[in-house]
Copies of this chain bind each other. A is one copy, B any other.
Amino acid sequence: MAERNATLGSTIQALLEEKKYSTIKDVLVTMEPADVAGILEEIGDVRIPKIFRLLPKEQAAETFAELDPELQELLIRGFSDAELHDIIEELYVDDAVDLVEEMPANVVKRILSQANPDTRKEINDLLRYPENSAGSIMTTEYVSLRPTMTVRDAINRIRSTGVDKETIYTCYVTENRKLLGQVSVKDMILCTDESTPVSQIMDEHVISVSTLTDQEEVAQMLSKYNFLALPVIDTDGHMVGIVTFDDAMDVMVEETTEDIEKMAAILPSDKTYLRSNAWDLFRHRIPWLALLMVSATFTGMIITGFEDALAAVVVLTAFIPMLMDTGGNSGSQASVSIIRALSLGELEFADLPKVVWKEIQTAVLCGCALALLCFGKIMLVDKLIMGADVNLLTAAVVCCTMAVTVLIAKIVGCTLPMGAQKLGLDPAVMASPFITTIVDALSLLVYFGIAKALLF
């Protein structure tokens, strides 16, 4: 896809040089808003407003919603008041809210001053919901029906108001702003008698969320039930909006990226990789790097404490990286599996005993297999081929440590994320780097403990 846009982008630029505006318009109107946005971003040029003005009103608004905040700001600064007013009114209100959240204060002021009073009120209402709540991602533009309407009335209502609604396919039956039921356009089309009241064909068992429900939970529910939209109810029990599946998809991608970043010891960021500069990357990466570096002091202290043992059997040092890496890898395998299962809602704290038992069994299997392999490797590769100064007893020390380290790593790796979740912390933070640091220290203690017992 990216390549197709790239080629089209250069074609558009060539047409622009030749001032062939009507050709450009003919090409752009055939395209999806996301692709037009891609082309504008590729051109990235002072002539963007000129191209943007060629788009028909609705496509212009949809393309605008897909643009990077930088380009949105550039366009807004170039818009006349009338143009800005048209775009704001044409945008879905949840997209307008996203825009207001991204723009600097002086641009926000201009946006709000150009919006109609109704739109301004809606935007301000939505801005008041906490970040990452259902309220903050919902839209207020849904089709509401009265229970006494017939199917014919309902279809007429959709016809008169539907063009501005984010989805028309699920309609909500309300009375005094209380949600009574939902009815799909499919049900209405399949209903053979158009004079049937909607209250008769509506589904009264509506699954809804509250304005304060976490957006990740909303996305999981939409995905679980395969719904097009979920209604949102405020604390007074009134229906105030809907969250649609496309917003849920965006939330899922965003939340997963955040989880992955946390697992890699990066503070989560809203910006994509290419849009972050080196300073942004630095700020998001240095805190964990510094913290983990300092906490590696303990590992260093353990080594210092056993300096005499290491000086006596120098070859022991050579196995430290292998033991530490294997421990780290074993722990992160367990923690990452658990974190993913937690974030998909497959696991809960009550499963802890089951999980620990499963990890212990797995650790015994992995630990024994690795210990055997390691023993073979030491005696064949290290001793015979490389001629290292290692005897059977030393090999036994290394292999015992290996098995015990894997066991410790798997147990720490599965309990820490589940404990974090229980304490209301984010389990993703308990991922590889954090666990590696703990497992490093523990595995060295085991190593020197076993070495002291067997070798000295």
Q: Which A residues have a C-beta under 8 Å from some C-beta of B?
A: 1-2, 30-32, 34, 155, 158-159, 162-163, 168-169, 185-186, 189-190, 192, 204-205, 207, 217, 221-226, 228, 245-246, 248-250, 252-253, 256-257, 260-261, 263-266, 272-274, 276-279, 281-282, 285-286, 288-290, 292-294, 296-297, 299-301, 303-304, 307, 310-311, 314-315, 317-322, 324-326, 328-330, 332-333, 335-338, 340-341, 344-348, 351, 354-355, 358-359, 361-362, 365-366, 369-370, 373-374, 377, 381-382, 386, 388, 402, 406, 432-433, 436-437, 440, 444
- 27 residue pairs from A and B, CB less than 8 Å apart: A1-B224, A1-B345, A32-B207, A32-B225, A34-B225, A162-B186, A168-B189, A169-B186, A185-B185, A245-B245, A253-B344, A260-B260, A260-B340, A272-B344, A276-B358, A279-B365, A286-B366, A286-B369, A290-B373, A294-B377, A297-B377, A299-B321, A300-B322, A303-B317, A304-B386, A321-B444, A325-B437
Residues of B contacting A30 in the complex (Cβ-Cβ under 8 angstroms): 204-205
Given A185-B189, A265-B332, A346 contacting B301 (CB threshold 8 A)? no
**Alpha-carbon distance between A197 and B429 when the two chains are bound, in angstroms:** 58
A169–B185 CB distance below 8 A? yes
Identify the closest chain B residue to A414 (Cβ).
B273
Q: How near does chain B come to A43, taking the closest CB pair, in angstroms?
A: 17
**Alpha-carbon distance between A249 and B304 when the two chains are bound, in angstroms:** 52
Given A274-B351, A326-B292, A332 contacting B205 (CB threshold 8 A)? no
Q: How near does chain B come to A302, taking the closest CB pair, in angstroms?
A: 9
B296–A307 CB distance below 8 A? no
A294–B373 CB distance below 8 A? yes
**Alpha-carbon distance between A48 and B335 when the two chains are bound, in angstroms:** 34
Given A189-B155, A297-B381, A341-B273, A314 contacting B322 (CB threshold 8 A)? no
Given A246-B223, A265-B332, A296 contacting B314 (CB threshold 8 A)? no
Q: How many copies does the complex hold?
A: 2
Residues of B contacting A337 in the complex (Cβ-Cβ under 8 angstroms): 261, 264, 266, 273, 281
Interface centre among A217, A296, A373, by most B CB within 10 Å? A296
Interface centre among A288, A328, A346, A437, by most B CB within 10 Å? A328
Cross-interface CB contact of A281 among B192, B297, B358, cutoff 8 Å? B358
Residues of B contacting A290 in the complex (Cβ-Cβ under 8 angstroms): 369-370, 373
B224–A34 CB distance below 8 A? yes
Q: How near does chain B come to A364, taking the closest CB pair, in angstroms?
A: 8
